[in-house]
Homo-oligomer: A and B are copies of this chain.
Amino acid sequence: MVRPTMEDVALRAGVSRALVSLVMRGSPKVSEMRRSAVLKAAEELGYSPHAMARSLASRTSTVLGVMVSDLHNAFFAEVVDGIDEVAREQGFDIIINTGGRSPARERRALESLLSFRPAGLILLSPVVPATAIGKAAEQLPVVLVARSSRVSTVDTVNDDGETGARLAVDHLVSLGHKRIAHLDGGEGTQAGPRRRGYVAAMEAHGLVPQVVSSEYTDAAGARAIRALLTDDALPTAILSCNDFNAVGAISALEDAGLRVPSDVSVVGYDNTSLAALRHVSLTTIDQPRAEFGRLAADALLQRVREERTEPVRHLLNPSLVVRNTTAPPGGQR
């Protein structure tokens, strides 16, 4: 359980510790003879460099910290894939921590990540207060994904929720819908832009917006539908704040004897793997998740290399994915 150090390798190879260090860092100014002797000794000893000692001595880091607000949400997994891809290409490693959507736990996760003195930090949809983010940004480059910020040292990558909501409304209107309700995401991240986009799109079509208070869960979607069902005039189409909410809405509609999409059309948001399941086959709005990750990593690495000081605000265009939960209104099949 005790790992060999550079000193051990140097001794065995009959060279100095500094020379071993040069070999390990792939320096060109080492003779081929010594290099192979060192590599052989390292191999025999099972030596591998101590990343922390290295980072301490060099006052640099090749690690990017990634804070995932919710590991349960596959959305973030795809963003992480994108981050990982770019980071690896450029010789960086990532370490992940999660806050489980709890500000307290997330704060601790942030502290923990920070204690490793990574080169930079990417926060995926963080729920900690902006001040905590600002404090972190004083110590290292920070990029926010799926959360906006006014801080000029922080870069952000977001989807354009207003555009996404508009795409959904346009789609429903083009099918002939006029009474389209929006099940709102409440306090959730990105709920605001989606709601605004919905309202704006409805008004642009000369229609009356109807925002129903809800949340980002399937239970909330079902509750919202049950509340709507007590009304006289049920909308002919629903735009949910996300896919989970949409699936809950569909269940509640079916429980009430209504058919989707012949009686009511439903559109989700996020294009999670859930939506793609053939059993669900939900029309929804797709966000380029891996692209979020790639752009976030790129932005971060630019800051790390001090190539840029101006903030970057990426706003990516979502796209509509039509599946089987939308159809013209009025029971036409």
Contact = CB atoms under 8 A, between A and B. Distances in A.
Nearest to A276: B218
B71 A72 contact: no
Copies of this subunit: 2
26 contacts: A1-B140, A3-B117, A3-B139, A46-B139, A50-B56, A51-B115, A52-B53, A52-B56, A52-B117, A63-B112, A71-B76, A71-B80, A72-B77, A80-B98, A81-B100, A94-B112, A95-B95, A95-B96, A96-B98, A247-B277, A248-B278, A251-B278, A251-B279, A252-B278, A274-B274, A279-B280
Interface in A93-150: 93-98, 100, 105, 108, 111-117, 135, 138-140
Contacts of A280: 279-280
A279 B247 contact: yes
- Residue among A78, A114, A115, A117 facing the most chain B CB atoms (10 A cut-off): A115
Interface of A: 1, 3, 46, 48-53, 55-56, 63, 70-74, 76-78, 80-81, 84, 88, 93-98, 100, 105, 108, 111-117, 135, 138-140, 218, 222, 244, 247-248, 250-252, 254-255, 273-274, 277-280
Given A48-B115, A278-B248, A279-B250, A72 B74 contact: yes
A81 B46 CA distance: 33
A52 B93 contact: no
Closest 8 CB pairs of A and B: A51-B115, A52-B52, A71-B77, A96-B96, A251-B278, A251-B279, A93-B112, A72-B77
- Residue among A48, A56, A95, A280 facing the most chain B CB atoms (10 A cut-off): A95
A101 to B, nearest CB: 11
A138 B78 contact: no
Contacts of A112: 51, 63, 93-95
B116 A273 contact: no
- Residue among A63, A74, A244, A278 facing the most chain B CB atoms (10 A cut-off): A278
A204 B25 CA distance: 61
Given A48-B114, A140-B1, A247-B277, A97 B98 contact: no
B95 A97 contact: yes
Contacts of A52: 52-53, 55-56, 115-117
Contacts of A55: 52
Contacts of A111: 48
Contact of A71 (B53, B71, B88): B71
A328 to B, nearest CB: 23
A138 B46 contact: yes
Contacts of A88: 108
A31 to B, nearest CB: 26
Contacts of A140: 1
